[in-house]
Structure 1
């Protein structure tokens, strides 16, 4: 397995995957990690996901809120996509489709 190549692919697609997940419903960081870790090519950890979430918030694509789940447990910080984030996600989807189309065309050559 070419770990360097996989690392580069993951770096380029993790942002897209996170926005896709949060677009479905609001999520907290650990939930994102658990969900992404179901997919071997997107396996991640806290030192990757939280800086990414902070950057997406800084860029205005996400905002956050705290929510208590159960009495006696600490509150969780949930992330939700903003209107700007939805527009950005739409652009990423378009770019992703073009990339897949280009790769498929190259394979046919």
Structure 2
């Protein structure tokens, strides 16, 4: 029987797959940025799993790394493998560090607002929008 899960992430139960898909590029960039001298795809996947995001398969991870490279956020180079085939090492660029800082801040703001709205986070202190009134009605 064919493995139909090939290329997908195995996320924790109860998490819709679109949650991980939306934040995966930022998380992958954060993992690469955490290694000053670069890291390879297998190690990125392992760190994502160790962080609790579930197992991200190569068919999902490597296209994300490729898009990050195409966007100028990481660079890559082939190096000799330890007792095996060569492997690609990914290194974050300065543009990637700046992108990560901006997007991480925006993600934090987004999740704080969404959490407050859903009742699972602290109130944001933002004033609520006034209720919409039908056109032509007096206030």
Q: TM-score, normalised by structure 1?
A: 0.84
Within 5 Å, give how 1:1-109 maps onto structure 2.
1-2=13-14, 6-25=16-35, 26-70=38-82, 72-106=83-117, 107=119
Deviation at 1:100, TM superposition (A): 2.2
After superposition, the C-alpha distances for 1:5-60 in whole angstroms (9 at most, x for unaligned) are 52010001111111111111011111112222234434210100011111111111
Unaligned runs of 5+ in 1: none
Unaligned runs of 5+ in 2: 1-12, 124-139
Q: CA RMSD in A?
A: 1.9
Secondary structure of the residue that 2:95 maps to in structure 1? helix
Contact 1:29–1:49 (CA under 8 A) maintained in structure 2: yes
Larger Rg belongs to: 2
Q: TM-score, normalised by structure 2?
A: 0.68
Give the ranges of 4+ consecutive aligned residues of structure 1 lying more than 4 Å apart after TM superposition.
Answer: none
Higher relative contact order (CA 8 A, sep 6+): 1
After superposition, the C-alpha distances for 1:61-97 in whole angstroms (9 at most, x for unaligned) are 0100122243x42221100111111111011111111
Q: Which structure: greater helix fraction?
A: 1
